[in-house]
């Protein structure tokens, strides 16, 4: 039966092919307006590319999104890379993915420098005083949001609980938690498939906004079809793009150098971001704060706040970690601290996002063929469940440092607790956006700081 409400859309003429210049200007614009975390960024792309410009159909958009959600890495950035790749081959994907990240990188380098140089100024200190408890509420809300989608039965609740105990009480490294959850998911997919067959999370929609450039019936372009020579070539290029800068860093600074260790650490982090940026943050703080001491717990919270208030993927907080770590370490001469910080921010961004480009450009045709096969999706379902427990631990970590800034033996910070409670009510009860909550808490923090 035809849906008459769809007839006006169906009558629209098919969109004209998209030029590379048109796409480049859109991806540049997206890089500056992509606020709101993955959900907000995906919503912006859907509104612009599916509804308004009709560059890609609803079904093809959701199919691409399901694919990106199977991969480690920032799904919104990968989705932009994927659509750019479909439209204009490899260079289209590279441009789309790079422009999604570059504005955020430049903004965070500037904000990180302001934070380090002027962080003790009363105005800046007051703003961050209010933002820190808001970040605690935001992370807890992220755990709730992911958990409500992922924890559909007792098995997955048990995995989430076990991961929380493992990281909170036993201090198990995050990579081992991911591997353990993947193993449980693989075995569960074989012996209890009904508990791990939860679907991709984004069912294909029947809604149509009119004919699109890449429509439901548009055959995959030649460059999106699997070919062994192309896969091998791209993997080789990716290996060279990783080995060359790493070898140069080792030659200049040695394996133990700060920049070398940052590059290696964030390469590993890039391969563990199943479940989004909040999933990898515990690994980042375990390494950057606990193991390497590149920054303090307070600075880590402040960096997450800056990441929340800038466009681009939240995982761009790694740029802040790199900048602060190299700025305060004697990487270069004392008068070149900014250069060291900026170089570190660029390096960690490179090593964090290089795998994402390779997953799309090289692995796209391979991974796309595995959709709906439980042996591939069940481990990812279990990993997502484990991520919930890990994020709860991250919220407790932030809450401890915000509410007891001097440790449990010191005073309890009641104003911070009230700001955190207000942020939680705004997020959970009134469904306010992250930016609104952060701005309101920044004003509240400034008021408390000035009244003391």
What is the rounded distance in angstroms from the CA atom of residue 2 to the CA atom of residue 24?
A: 37
Compute the distance between CA of residue 244 and CA of residue 253 in angstroms, rounded to an integer. Answer: 14
Evaluated on CA atoms 61, 67, 73, 78, the torsion sign reads negative
Q: How many helices (H) and strands (E) does the chain have?
A: 19, 0
Mean pLDDT comparison of 50-59, 152-161, 378-387, 425-434, highest-scoring range: 152-161
Residue with token string 């294909």:
204
pLDDT higher than threshold 70 for residue 105: yes
Of 10-24, 93-107, 215-229, the range with the highest mean pLDDT is 93-107
Mean pLDDT of 280-293: 86
Report the C-alpha gap between 142 and 427 in whole angstroms.
10
Please tell me the predicted confidence (pLDDT) of residue 113. Answer: 94
Task: Give the model confidence (pLDDT) of 234-273 as tens digits.
Answer: 999 999 999 999 999 999 999 999 999 999 999 998 887 6
Give mean pLDDT, residues 76-88.
Answer: 93
For all residues of the chain together, what is the average pLDDT? Answer: 84
Statement: residue 405 has pLDDT above 60? yes
pLDDT surpassing 80 at residue 55: yes
What per-residue confidence (pLDDT) applies to 372?
Answer: 54
User: What average pLDDT does this structure show over 320-329?
Assistant: 94
> What pLDDT is attached to residue 285?
84
Tell me: the pLDDT tens digits for 179-205? 899 899 999 988 988 888 754 444 444
CA distance 48 to 18: 13
């Amino acid at each position: 039966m035809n849906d008459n409400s769809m007839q006006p859309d169906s009558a629209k003429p098919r969109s004209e092919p998209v030029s590379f210049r048109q796409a480049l200007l859109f991806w540049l614009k997206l890089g500056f307006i992509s606020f709101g975390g993955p959900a907000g960024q995906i919503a912006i792309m859907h509104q612009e590319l599916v509804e308004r410009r009709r560059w890609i159909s609803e079904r093809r958009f959701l199919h691409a999104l399901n694919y990106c959600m199977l991969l480690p890495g920032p799904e919104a950035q990968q989705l932009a890379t994927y659509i750019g790749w479909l439209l204009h081959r490899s260079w289209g994907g590279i441009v789309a993915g790079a422009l999604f990240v570059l504005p955020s990188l430049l903004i965070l380098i500037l904000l990180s420098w302001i934070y380090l140089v002027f962080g003790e100024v009363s105005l800046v200190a007051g703003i961050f005083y209010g933002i820190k408890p808001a970040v605690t509420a935001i992370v807890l809300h992220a755990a709730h949001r992911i958990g409500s989608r992922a924890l559909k039965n007792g098995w997955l609740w048990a995995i989430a609980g076990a991961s929380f105990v493992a990281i909170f009480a036993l201090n198990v490294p995050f990579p081992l938690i991911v591997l353990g959850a993947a193993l449980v998911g693989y075995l569960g997919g074989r012996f209890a498939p009904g508990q791990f067959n939860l679907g991709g999370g984004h069912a294909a929609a029947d809604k149509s906004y009119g004919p699109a450039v890449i429509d439901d019936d548009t055959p995959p372009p030649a460059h999106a079809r699997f070919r062994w020579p192309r896969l091998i070539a791209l993997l080789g290029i990716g290996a060279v793009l990783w080995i060359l800068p790493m070898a140069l860093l080792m030659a200049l600074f040695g394996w133990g150098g700060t920049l070398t260790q940052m590059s290696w650490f964030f390469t590993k982090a890039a391969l563990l971001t199943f479940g989004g940026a909040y999933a990898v943050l515990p690994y980042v703080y375990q390494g950057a704060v606990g193991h390497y001491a590149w920054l303090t717990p307070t600075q880590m919270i402040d960096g997450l706040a800056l990441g929340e208030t800038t466009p681009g993927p939240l995982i761009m907080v790694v740029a802040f970690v790199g900048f602060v770590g190299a700025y305060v370490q004697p990487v270069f001469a004392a008068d070149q601290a900014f250069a060291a910080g900026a170089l570190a921010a660029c390096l960690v961004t490179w090593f964090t996002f290089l795998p994402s480009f390779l997953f799309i450009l090289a692995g796209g045709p391979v991974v796309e063929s595995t959709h709906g096969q439980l042996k591939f999706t069940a481990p990812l379902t279990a990993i997502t469940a484990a991520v919930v427990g890990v994020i709860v631990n991250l919220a407790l970590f932030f809450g401890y440092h915000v509410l007891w800034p001097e440790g449990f033996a010191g005073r309890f910070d009641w104003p911070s607790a009230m700001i955190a409670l207000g942020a939680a009510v705004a997020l959970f009860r009134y469904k306010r956006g992250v930016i609104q909550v952060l701005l309101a808490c920044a004003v509240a923090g400034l008021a408390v700081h000035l009244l003391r």
